[in-house]
Structure 1
Amino acid sequence: MTKYQDIARQLRRQLLSGQIPLHAALPSDNQIMKRFQVSRATARHAIDVLVREGLVVRRKGSGTYPVAGVGMSFGKRLLRKERIPVFVPMEYPVRRVGHSFYGDLLSQLIVMANENGLHLQPVSVVPPFSQDDFALIEKARLAVVFGDIFLKVPLVWWRKHRLLMLDAAIPPGYDAPAVSVSPDHRKAGYTAVKILLERGAQHLAFIGEPHPNYQLRFAGFCEALAHYGKELNPQWCFMDRGEAMRVIVDHVDAIDAVCCASDTMAVHLLQECLAHGIRVPDDLGVVSIDGTPLCQITRPSLCAVAIDRGMFARKAIEAVSLLLAMRDETCAKHIEVPFEFWEGESLPAHFPES
């Protein structure tokens, strides 16, 4: 074995054992020359071996760095030594599994991560972040972020890290490896309207909130109405669920069906209908978007455009591997999560002609 091959072997062992962290540069040519008492050419030959093997990449002007994730096993071996922080809005803690889309998704994500040898550390946060939150971000080499939390934190805090965005787009100008995993919320809203119109509904209402994803679902709602030549009635479109419940129960005879931007809104509507003697689906049809376990335990059970959280979690775990394998600092990728329609009892097979 030549000298440069021996040096490459020692560096390879340090990489695969995690002795050289993913975020740390390898020894420079000068450091290798001094440590092993070799020429600059020998030092460069040793690094060239690791580059050809795909274990490291040279970054112009900043040194040579590990390529994390040469095969998922390499990434796992390094990540087993630490927990990956998962920043979740405080309103979606783990204990609320089944009561929110994020809560249910987070539960499945943790289970699937454990099965794949990864360890996630959920962190419930309310921006602005505390010093402890910043310290955790500072230490992390890979951060998982739910929703639009990053909008409430200076972007410079995230730029050091490989970033996995769940249910949110990658922020413009982000200059480190990033992957977003999310459903097409606009398409989900469009699909809900398409199903209602195909069943003969004519007069539709929408209940949402100012959250960006709900706004996208509302945009899909409006787009579908326009595509099918139906007029949007602004007085039946609500971004305040309290107002929506009051108006809808008072004007139920003028509305065929309601599209709810989330399961919790749909459940609230079912409760209001029950309290006011409104029969679902005989007097009013209800369709939801999310498809959490809530849909199956309500009476009547909810029809829903359901986002597959199991698939979401699987794609998120795959994205961890993808992030670790990314070499280009400006590389960004989006992974779309599919959805399907769940047939429940809250819609009739066909709406009567009005």
Structure 2
Amino acid sequence: MLSEHEVIEATTPSGGSEADFARTKYERIGEHLKRQIREGQLPPGTALPSEQQLASLFDSARSTVRQAMGLLEQEGLVSRVQGKGTFVHDQARQRLSCGLDILALVIPEVLSGFYPSLQHSFEESASYSQNQMLVCCTRNNVDKQGNVILQLIDNQVGGVAIVPASTPPTPGYQIRQLQKAGIPVVLCHRAVEGITAPLLGLPFREIGRLAGDALVEQGHRRCAFFAPHRTKTTDLYLDGFQSALADVGCELDDHHSYFGAAGVIDMQELDAEIAGTLQRMLDQPGRPTAIFTSFDSMAERIYLHLTKMGLRMPEDISLIGVGDQVRHSVLQQQIASVTVNETQLGYRAAELLNQMRSGELAIETTLTEVMPVEVYQGTTLGTCDH
């Protein structure tokens, strides 16, 4: 809880007069204890060591410790109980967060895919708890995400829900910077290696399996797979999809897979490649009778290109994507998809952030909730009769 190494770092002044030394020391002791409260290392109700014990631990005079404790008591962070000791106040973390009323949502994209519903529900939930909301778009770029995180720390936001960038995978130190600053983090969709934080995850392998099962049940045996880029997430989609094909003695032909460039999130940038790949696949003997794509925005592009080629769905070819339960556009309403309730995810993310801010939940917790998924039939999923 109060390690000797941390205490030395917390109480060693950088220089100055004797008066500055005394002032710096009690302020540093107070700030060190505040940080431990904020980060959940001193949970609500925790009994603090006695003044004598703290003086020994911090190598300080009891009067210096008494000043620090008096400061914490004035701020409502600790309460003294006669004959029993000093305890962390039940509302200490919440009081430390007073004024930090901004909750941030960090996402790869704002206008397509899962993200409009996630953004709307997170904003609505934040407003219920009287928090302002800030949306940061990373374009799935790790470097841009790192800059965003530094700005959020500098602005002392109250909490961050983040869909981590995936190409390359988000490094743990980016998220750890937020946690070290006492800022709660909720990971959405996927975990970050080396980070302990609440996770609202997607069952990527199950999603691929459901898409494969839906096509196999309709008699499809020659299928294609499209993804915006290749990541660990994509490989899980692919693994689940291939397992469904393997159950009926089929496999995915290498020539029937397409992966866009790493880091690309805008489907318009991949449009020409998608069209060319589709044309090559469909011109080959034994062409695919169905396509699974891991992102609804890509499914929309594929739908439009297939239509331009004169193909009817589902009569000539079936199509299934992955996306949000809320089908925002007329085109999305046509496309079959394995869907996630992103509205529920957004509400839950904001709820977890506020639980961590109030001290009800530790900042570093292993809580994991996997979001449920289901198949939306649309009009692009049909029987294979050729």
- The answer, yes or no, to whether TM exceeds 0.5 is yes
Task: Please point out which of 231, 240, 252 is paired with 1:220.
Answer: 240
* Pairs within 5 Å for 1:103-142: 103-125=116-138, 126-129=141-144, 133-138=149-154, 139-142=156-159
- How many pairs were matched up? 300
Counterpart AA for 1:229:
G
**Structure 1 gap segments, 5+ residues each:** 1-19, 57-65, 69-73
Equivalent position SS for 1:298: helix
Counterpart AA for 2:203:
D
Task: Please point out which of 350, 356, 359 is paired with 1:317.
Answer: 350
Structure-2 residue corresponding to 1:7: none
Counterpart AA for 2:279:
R
CA distance in 1, matches of 2:304, 2:184: 43
Structure-1 residue corresponding to 2:221: 202
Task: Please point out which of 300, 313, 335 is paired with 1:280.
Answer: 313
Contact 2:245-2:252 at 8 Å conserved across structures = yes
Residue by residue, what CA displacement relative to the aligned partner does 1:167-214 show, whole Å, maximum 9, x if unpaired? 120431x36xx1111211111011000011111111111111224433
CA distance in 1, matches of 2:124, 2:332: 29
Task: Please point out which of 146, 155, 161 is paired with 2:163.
Answer: 146
CA distance in 1, matches of 2:371, 2:329: 21
Contact 1:148-1:168 at 8 Å conserved across structures = no
1:299 to 1:336, Cα distance in 2 relative to 1, 3 A = closer
Structure-1 residue corresponding to 2:23: none
Contact 1:291-1:307 at 8 Å conserved across structures = yes
Task: Please point out which of 276, 279, 284 is paired with 1:246.
Answer: 279
CA distance in 2, matches of 1:29, 1:105: 47
**Structure 2 gap segments, 5+ residues each:** 1-33, 52-63, 71-79, 261-269
CA distance in 1, matches of 2:306, 2:361: 55
Structure-2 residue corresponding to 1:237: 257
Residue by residue, what CA displacement relative to the aligned partner does 1:127-169 show, whole Å, maximum 9, x if unpaired? 4257675142242453222223782574452341322111120
1:115 Cα deviation from its structure 2 partner: 2.6
Contact 2:172-2:192 at 8 Å conserved across structures = no
Equivalent position SS for 1:47: strand
Contact 1:170-1:180 at 8 Å conserved across structures = no
Contact 1:280-1:286 at 8 Å conserved across structures = yes
1:88 Cα deviation from its structure 2 partner: 2.6
1:297 Cα deviation from its structure 2 partner: 0.8
CA distance in 1, matches of 2:170, 2:313: 39
Counterpart AA for 1:148:
A
Structure-2 residue corresponding to 1:337: 371
Structure-2 residue corresponding to 1:59: none
Equivalent position SS for 1:192: helix
CA distance in 1, matches of 2:307, 2:281: 13
1:296 to 1:344, Cα distance in 2 relative to 1, 3 A = farther
Give runs of ≥4 in structure 1 deviating > 6 Å: 24-28, 41-44
1:340 to 1:332, Cα distance in 2 relative to 1, 3 A = same
* Pairs within 5 Å for 1:1-354: 23=38, 29-30=50-51, 33=66, 45-48=84-87, 50=88, 55=90, 66=92, 68=93, 78=97, 81-89=100-108, 92-93=109-110, 96=111, 99-125=112-138, 126-129=141-144, 133-138=149-154, 139-148=156-165, 151=170, 154-155=173-174, 156-160=176-180, 161-172=183-194, 174=195, 178-208=197-227, 209-240=229-260, 242=273, 243-251=276-284, 254-291=287-324, 297-298=330-331, 301-324=334-357, 325=359, 330-348=364-382, 350-352=383-385, 354=386
CA distance in 1, matches of 2:118, 2:243: 28
1:254 to 1:79, Cα distance in 2 relative to 1, 3 A = farther
Residue by residue, what CA displacement relative to the aligned partner does 1:95-138 show, whole Å, maximum 9, x if unpaired? x2xx2222332222212321343332112345425767514224
Counterpart AA for 1:195:
A
Contact 2:222-2:286 at 8 Å conserved across structures = no
Equivalent position SS for 1:221: helix
Scaled by the length of structure 2, what TM-score is found?
0.66
Residue by residue, what CA displacement relative to the aligned partner does 1:32-77 show, whole Å, maximum 9, x if unpaired? 74577xxxx96782424x57xxx28xxxxxxxxx4x4xxxxx68x9
Equivalent position SS for 1:340: strand
Contact 1:181-1:335 at 8 Å conserved across structures = yes
Counterpart AA for 2:38:
H
Identity of aligned residues (%): 14
1:131 to 1:280, Cα distance in 2 relative to 1, 3 A = closer
CA distance in 1, matches of 2:277, 2:188: 29
Contact 1:263-1:295 at 8 Å conserved across structures = no
Scaled by the length of structure 1, what TM-score is found?
0.72
Equivalent position SS for 2:162: strand
